[in-house]
Amino acid sequence: MVISYLARLPDRNTFQLAQGNTVRRIDLDGQLQPGGQVGQFLLGRFSDRTQDVAAEYYRRRGRRPPYLEFAANCTDTDAILDFTAQWGLLTTSHSVPDGWKPARRESWCPWRGDQKDFLMDLSGWRSLHQRFQRLQEVAAAPTRNGRRTLCDLLSRESNLDFDAGNLHLGLEWKAEAFQPQIVTSSLYMAFVAMLWLDVTARGRRLLRCADPGCGKYFSTERPNKIYCDPICALRTSRRNWWRRNGPAWRDGRRL
């Protein structure tokens, strides 16, 4: 089984920011946020390039999941723009609403009135990022309660909303056999589906690096791996050695 999402990549040179009213969203506690809030929107145009966000990950084993790149991304505006230029729009709603169409008459607006125009609410991007970080934290928790919470959160993600989009089952005829697919309508839901597939069908574990100076999340199929990188393992080993032997070593130097 693979996750299928073909992202349309935007043209970074067309990016423009504008202010507008955001929609009401549900927070991590399940509460509906107040409406009528003013937030930033990204205006731009799609290029002719596309990217299958999951293909390279499933083609070779041992690669870092792209959803970890998303979860580790900052939420300041410049970081969101960089991420969007590299991976595509995170949310599912890209079309230009009627209320925004008069902006085309402005000299700064990049839109041309065709299917390449897009609009993305950065408030929606930040809301999804916060939700996914919560999924990541729970997926990396080794406790039974953490596993139950992950089940609840993934079930809640199936209550699809305006930003996240939806998913459906698909099939691809390949090598004289059907290959099952989960086809998503947004980059965000592709990341959620990839996380779900990794921790269930593919037998991968999502962990947080045991090096206190690192703390990055990583995925692995090795049952005894606790560090994201050999450098972290070496740094922790040296730190522990100094904690145990440092005083005696310093006393020996003084003699």
- Supply the pLDDT for residue 166: 83
Strand-pairing partners, residue 32, are 26
Hunting for tokens 């000299």 — which residue is that?
A: 107
Q: Specify whether the CB–CB gap between 117 and 96 falls below 8 A.
A: yes
How far from the centroid of its chain's Cα atoms is residue 172's Cα?
25
How far from the centroid of its chain's Cα atoms is residue 175's Cα?
31
Tokens read off for 13: 């040179």
pLDDT tens digit sequence for 22-42: 887 777 666 667 766 889 999
3-state DSSP assignment of residue 105: helix
Length of the chain equals 255
The span from the CA of 44 to the CA of 125, in Å, is 15
Q: Which residues contact 47 (CB under 8 A, 6 or more apart)?
A: 8, 9, 10, 11
The span from the CA of 252 to the CA of 46, in Å, is 66
pLDDT tens digit sequence for 226-255: 888 888 888 888 877 777 776 766 666 554
Ranges of the chain with pLDDT below 70: 1, 28-32, 35-36, 61-62, 158-161, 201-203, 246, 248-255
- Supply the pLDDT for residue 245: 77
pLDDT tens digit sequence for 68-79: 989 989 999 999
Q: Which helix (H) or strand (E) holds 55?
A: helix 55-59
C-alpha closest to that of 119 among 7, 19, 5, 48: 19
CB atoms within 10 A of CB 28: 12
Hunting for tokens 């597939």 — which residue is that?
A: 197
**Domain edges within the chain:** 2-203, 205-255
- Supply the pLDDT for residue 121: 93
Q: Which amino acid is at 171?
A: L
Tokens read off for 19: 């202010």
> pTM (2 decimals)?
0.83
Kindly give the pairing relationship between strand 177-184 and strand 205-208: unpaired
- Supply the pLDDT for residue 23: 82
The span from the CA of 161 to the CA of 138, in Å, is 21
